[in-house]
Amino acid sequence: MKSPYSAKIVQPDISLSICGYSKVLEIVSNKWTALVVYAMEDGVIRYGEIRRRIEGISKKMLTQTLRQLERNGLVKRVITPSVPPIVEYSLTRLGESLLGPMRVLNQWTKENYSLVEQARASYDQAYYEE
């Protein structure tokens, strides 16, 4: 016989590998990924230019981030083997399709982030001062 609590459980489980929330986040939630996507919103852009536009990103992390995005099919890389070489990046169609959802998140931030900061301040005050 089951306990009264188990009867309340509608869905038996939520799994990391199944939840859609988690799957997108797995793709865009690295430290620099969102910024790199943001830098490519306007169209084709060169490696060095991305680097200049994003404050504080190292070559290593930029390369790593771009490779991941490329692997996930969100970014296209075109190499012109001149000397010195030219490497241009742009969003694929799939990458562009992510811009809509990203902008929705961005909008949420604009409207609500100050509330988050307030909440943090009052939480911290309650626990570390008083």
Residue 1 lies near a copy of itself (rule: CB under 8 A):
no
Residue 48 lies near a copy of itself (rule: CB under 8 A):
yes
Phi, psi at residue 39, to the nearest 5°? -65, -25
Sheet holding 86-91, edge to edge: 45-46, 86-91, 75-80
The correct pick among 22, 58, 63, 125 for binding a copy of itself (CB under 8 A) is 22
Residue 90 pairs in a beta bridge with 76
Residue 53 lies near a copy of itself (rule: CB under 8 A):
yes
What is the smallest separation between the CB atom of 33 and a copy of itself, expressed in angstroms? 8
Residue 84: is the preceding peptide bond cis (ω within 30°)?
yes
Contact 53, 39 (CB under 8 A): yes
Residue 52 lies near a copy of itself (rule: CB under 8 A):
yes
Contact 41, 99 (CB under 8 A): yes
Q: Which is closer to DNA, CB of 11 or CB of 82?
A: 82
- Residue 33 and residue 58: Cα distance in Å, rounded? 13
Q: Which is closer to DNA, CB of 80 or CB of 111?
A: 80
- Residue 130 and residue 126: Cα distance in Å, rounded? 6
The correct pick among 1, 2, 11, 79 for binding a copy of itself (CB under 8 A) is 11
Judged by the rule CB under 8 A, the positions of this chain that interact with a copy of itself are: 5-6, 8-16, 19-25, 27-29, 31, 34-35, 37-39, 42, 46, 48-49, 52-56, 70-74, 94, 97-98, 100-102, 104-113, 115-116, 118-120, 123-124
